[in-house]
A and B are shown apart, each in its own frame.
Chain A
Amino acid sequence: MHKTAKPICVFLITLISIGDLIAQNNCQHQVEGWVFEINSNEPVPYATVSIQGTTLGSIADDNGYFIIKNICDEEFNLQLSHVGYKPIIHHHDVYHESPTIYMAPDEQILESIVVEGEAQASDIFSGSISRISSEDFHDVESENLGEALGTISGINMLSTGQNIVKPIIHGVHSNRVLIINNGVRHEFQNWGAEHAPEIDPSLVDNLEVIKGAATVRYGPDALGGVVLINPPPIDLESHLHGEIRITGKSNGRSGETTARLSKGYKRFGLMAEGSWLRQGDLHSPDYQLTNTGKKEISYAGGMRYHLTNWDFEAYYSHFDQELGILRGAVNGNLDDVQNAIENEPPPDTEPFSYDINNPKQKVVHDLFKLKGVYQGTNQSLSFQYGYQVNDRQEFDVRRGTNNELPNIDLQLKTHSLDIDWNHQPWGKLSGIIGIQNQFQDNNNIPGTNTPLFIPNYAQYRIGIFAIETIETSSVLYETGLRYDYQHSSISGREQNNDIFRNQLDFQNFTATVGLRKKLSESLTFRSNLGSAWRPPNVSELYAFGRHQASIEYGLWRYTQDEDGNVTTSEILTEIDRPVKSEAGYKWINTLNISRNKASYEITGYFNYIRNFIFTRPAGITNTVRGAFPFFLYDQTDAIFWGFDYSSKHELARQVELELQASYLWSKQTTGDFFVGQPPADIRLATNYQPNIGWFDQTTIGLGFQYTFKQFQAPRIISIAELNEAYTNDGNIFDDDNSDFDILAEPDGYILTNLSWNSTVGKFEWTLSIKNLLDISYRNYTNRLRYFADEMGRNVSVSISYRL
């Protein structure tokens, strides 16, 4: 172990000692930049640019380009103004990249903004990256995070009812999708399909999705992709500005208030935001969805302090949520499941209420972050410390006083320390080198009166990576390498409450190669081949027990003899059953075409995952409660391929058309299909911007989404067949233990959405109607699709005021 410590120290010292630390202080500085119109991205010629407090200044040329030379100070305030546009002041220093200014017209609610360098939070250039910009995100921020992400082509939602939604990227989800919130790996109980990320979209400014295997940059788990979530930036020299927003929705009779304020001084900036939400029972077109209410409070605050070469940032956010799960989805044995499936409305349906009863989840997530960035000449060095505490409690319907107790109660604490160095170009090479440390402690909080579903563990991870690029006039080549090491200490209890312990080590190298080539003025091609890995999660190794209507045994909690008989009395180790890390190889290609009045993006991908960990059905066990199917964790190899398409067309001066489509094919190499993989879909949206009376700006949108029936689905074994097999004492999984589903895939459906958005002065209001035609449908990737229809029509009205 100590052998590795030495090179790390050398590495750190090298990082710190490199760099031109001597400041120059004569009148030889200069600044150049570009000025664009915020909506059209067209250059704004003749904009006036000046340095505050001096006589220096310039006028932008026909291309919006300006340059000011002979500046004496290293940092200064850049003033920009133009007739008809909102003026802006930008604090700039010579170490930061050239600014690009987006000017907003006077009559619009948008503010002018400045972007330094390439406006991209990720450092992968050859991967396929989809963004939801700050302005677009505004339209989806009253949804939950999973739904907001689902608006991107190729990303689907894995849901458990309407309140628990997590992203599926190109067919993989949970532990295979990494979420980076505000620069910090969001650490939560990601192993459960019914554990949604604890992030409130109303506090988010914009987000990006990398649809490639971005493990080299972000660490293990990024087999399908990475979601980067960015809070609002904290600007210097900005007036007190912010937004207050109130949203009401008809379905669930929900109300939400969000407020955001920020102010920037010369060296100092502050930001605070908060959100409150209350939602009652939702309803499908035909009946109430009992116990689907939600309560949510979240707030965040950030601070920035700027010195010539340094930027410091402190950030804290808090998220607190209580959500109900459809009452009719609680089942006992197989008979109960069958009864729940056959009954519509679902069992225990009651009139509307704001009450949240069992089954429910209570989650709290706190994030504290400190970051320092040193900006040198053509290089930067950043240090980031993050501390997260994630509390998760899950409540089932239980007998007596146990009903007040959670049956799962976990606390996960995560410390992380990341150091990144964007080095000076070495010849033609430029790139980033970094080291990432993480320490985690996961504990069961005593008092659940339920055998532990997962054991306690402490886990340490370190990763070292380098990503380098060479750019010629038309091609950018990119390559990266990473090494990760993980040590875990595990401590749990057997069924008879005896302690078991284990120490585990995993390590791996990952690599990426890619290119970005400009084929012509309007054509860009990106290709990236990346490897990714993921050590088996503690839950996959040690899960034990009943979770709703099925029973699961982790990889090291069962043994199976030649006749298929399963015993769980012993706890295995890596010697009894070696478990290899999952290793993924994803090749992704993207073609961007931008023509005069249209832009297209076409992405094709192929992902091969070795040692893919999944659950397979292994039998039916009879208990006093009746019969239950049980599932065993196992490993296989799997293939995922597919494509995403999206395009935008300007049909007329005020009419825009957007088209999206995605298709995924996935299978285990043994020939089995997976349950619950997203079916193909097509989306069409039109936006019309008419000039209406006294509104400054109006957008009317009409959207259609067609979701196909999933035709690549595993076999169906109905509950009746399971029951029959059990009664006849036949193990139907002896001959064929391939995966199965208990109900056929739902039919395809078309959803219609309508929205109207207008601004008047500083006010903005939005009316939006989802599922306009109030159709009844079921979503294949909703785990509660067996029991109830999806939500019916939802009319939402929101009013916001910007200052």
Chain B
Amino acid sequence: MLHILKTELTTTMNKNILLATCIGFFMIACDSDDPDPENAEEIITDVTLSFNGTGGGAPLEFKAVDPDGDGPQNLQIQGDIILQAGQDYVLTIDMQNSIEGESISAEVEEEADEHMIFFGWTDGLFTDPTGDGNVDNRSDAVNYNDQDGSGFPLGLNTSWNTASSGSGTFRIILKHQPGSKSATSTATTGETDVDLSWNITVE
């Protein structure tokens, strides 16, 4: 430890001597140090919705991808959601930072007391939950299967029963609500980490 400290001090001293020399001998080119790489941990590039039919069969996966994160390239919604009529599904949501190879959904699960996923859809697509979801009104029905430590819903795992037919949109909003998540916090509380809409058909 002491050795490291000493090395650091020497490096700093050397640097300062170098800087002073730069001034002393005017025109010597003084190069900039290369910055350390930084990992943009918070960017979400891939969001996958997996609808697992309780009757078995392969899960139905629907993806949204934005490989450049905050870059100017638009997000791509890869295909519409198509679900079978009159089916029970468990929806799990997976979020990844493909630039860093990191699971954001795992992080969200760890920080469950600061996060909540809200759902909004065209009325009539599901028999359970009924209605159009809790984006517009927090108290509207959504079947959450997971909770945080205080018993408030999280939303990485939810249950759905489709109606006989219909089409419209399906929207998920992940909110970051540090210190403000409560029994009444809404889809406008806190900052938006994810806000995605798919076209959906039940047939």
By a beta-carbon cutoff of 8 Å, the part of chain A in contact with chain B is 1-2, 4-5, 8, 330-333, 335-336, 339, 347-348, 397-400, 402-403, 413, 415, 417, 437, 439, 441-444, 446, 448-452, 455-458, 460, 462, 487-493, 495-497, 499, 501, 503, 545-546, 551, 553, 558, 566-568, 619, 621-626, 628, 630
**Contact of A491 with B33 at beta-carbon distance under 8 Å, contacts A558-B72, A621-B74, A624-B45 already known:** yes
Contact flags (1/0) for B33-75 with A, using CB distance below 8 Å? 1111111111011010000000000000000101011111111
Task: Please state if A1 and B27 are interface contacts (CB–CB under 8 Å).
Answer: yes
B192: min CB distance to chain A, Å = 4
Residue in B23, B44, B188 whose CB lies within 8 Å of A339: B188
What are 9 pairs between A and B in contact, CB < 8 Å? A332-B176, A397-B178, A400-B110, A444-B38, A457-B32, A619-B72, A621-B73, A622-B75, A624-B75
User: Which chain A residues border B15 with CB–CB below 8 Å?
Assistant: 441
Residue in A399, A451, A499 whose CB lies within 8 Å of B176: A399
Roughly how many angstroms separate A488 CA and B32 CA in the complex, as a whole number?
Answer: 8
Task: Please state if A400 and B72 are interface contacts (CB–CB under 8 Å).
Answer: no
**Contact of A499 with B45 at beta-carbon distance under 8 Å, contacts A397-B178, A568-B71 already known:** no
Task: Please state if B35 and A400 are interface contacts (CB–CB under 8 Å).
Answer: no
Residue of A nearest to B24 (CB): A417
**Contact of A335 with B40 at beta-carbon distance under 8 Å, contacts A1-B27, A5-B26 already known:** no
Roughly how many angstroms separate A626 CA and B64 CA in the complex, as a whole number?
Answer: 12
**Contact of A567 with B34 at beta-carbon distance under 8 Å, contacts A335-B192, A402-B41, A623-B66 already known:** no
User: Which chain A residues border B47 with CB–CB below 8 Å?
Assistant: 624
Question: Does B107 sit within 8 A of A, measured CB to CB?
Answer: yes
Task: Please state if B191 and A332 are interface contacts (CB–CB under 8 Å).
Answer: yes
Interface core residue of A8, A399, A626 (most chain B CB under 10 Å): A399
User: Which chain B residues border A499 with CB–CB below 8 Å?
Assistant: 34
- For window 136-158 of chain B, which residues contact chain A by CB distance below 8 Å? none
Interface core residue of A339, A439, A551, A630 (most chain B CB under 10 Å): A439
Task: Please state if A625 and B192 are interface contacts (CB–CB under 8 Å).
Answer: yes
Question: Does B203 sit within 8 A of A, measured CB to CB?
Answer: no
Residue of B nearest to A621 (CB): B72
User: Which chain A residues border B178 with CB–CB below 8 Å?
Assistant: 397, 403
Residue in B44, B72, B188 whose CB lies within 8 Å of A624: B44
Question: Does B196 sit within 8 A of A, measured CB to CB?
Answer: yes
A784: min CB distance to chain B, Å = 16
Roughly how many angstroms separate A501 CA and B110 CA in the complex, as a whole number?
Answer: 39
Residue of A nearest to B21 (CB): A439
Roughly how many angstroms separate A493 CA and B38 CA in the complex, as a whole number?
Answer: 9
Task: Please state if A450 and B32 are interface contacts (CB–CB under 8 Å).
Answer: no
A789: min CB distance to chain B, Å = 20
* For the complex of A and B, 5 pairs with smallest distance between CB atoms: A332-B192, A446-B36, A626-B195, A332-B191, A497-B37
Task: Please state if B23 and A437 are interface contacts (CB–CB under 8 Å).
Answer: yes
Task: Please state if A336 and B191 are interface contacts (CB–CB under 8 Å).
Answer: yes
**Contact of A439 with B44 at beta-carbon distance under 8 Å, contacts A397-B176, A449-B38 already known:** no
Task: Please state if B191 and A331 are interface contacts (CB–CB under 8 Å).
Answer: yes
User: Which chain A residues border B39 with CB–CB below 8 Å?
Assistant: 449
A347: min CB distance to chain B, Å = 7
Task: Please state if A449 and B27 are interface contacts (CB–CB under 8 Å).
Answer: no
B15: min CB distance to chain A, Å = 8
Roughly how many angstroms separate A448 CA and B36 CA in the complex, as a whole number?
Answer: 10
- For window 84-114 of chain B, which residues contact chain A by CB distance below 8 Å? 95, 99, 107-108, 110-111, 114
Task: Please state if A444 and B35 are interface contacts (CB–CB under 8 Å).
Answer: yes
Task: Please state if B33 and A456 are interface contacts (CB–CB under 8 Å).
Answer: yes
Question: Does B2 sit within 8 A of A, measured CB to CB?
Answer: no
Residue of B nearest to A454 (CB): B35
Roughly how many angstroms separate A333 CA and B34 CA in the complex, as a whole number?
Answer: 32
User: Which chain B residues border A398 with CB–CB below 8 Å?
Assistant: 42
Task: Please state if A489 and B31 are interface contacts (CB–CB under 8 Å).
Answer: yes
Residue in B23, B69, B190 whose CB lies within 8 Å of A417: B23
User: Which chain B residues border A439 with CB–CB below 8 Å?
Assistant: 19, 22-23, 30
B73: min CB distance to chain A, Å = 7
Interface core residue of B27, B111, B114 (most chain A CB under 10 Å): B27
Residue of B nearest to A551 (CB): B70
Task: Please state if B32 and A490 are interface contacts (CB–CB under 8 Å).
Answer: yes
| Further 6 A-B residue pairs, CB within 8 A, beyond A400-B107, A415-B22, A624-B193 | A332-B195, A399-B42, A439-B30, A458-B31, A491-B31, A503-B29
Question: Does B11 sit within 8 A of A, measured CB to CB?
Answer: no
User: Which chain B residues border A442 with CB–CB below 8 Å?
Assistant: 32
Task: Please state if A492 and B72 are interface contacts (CB–CB under 8 Å).
Answer: no
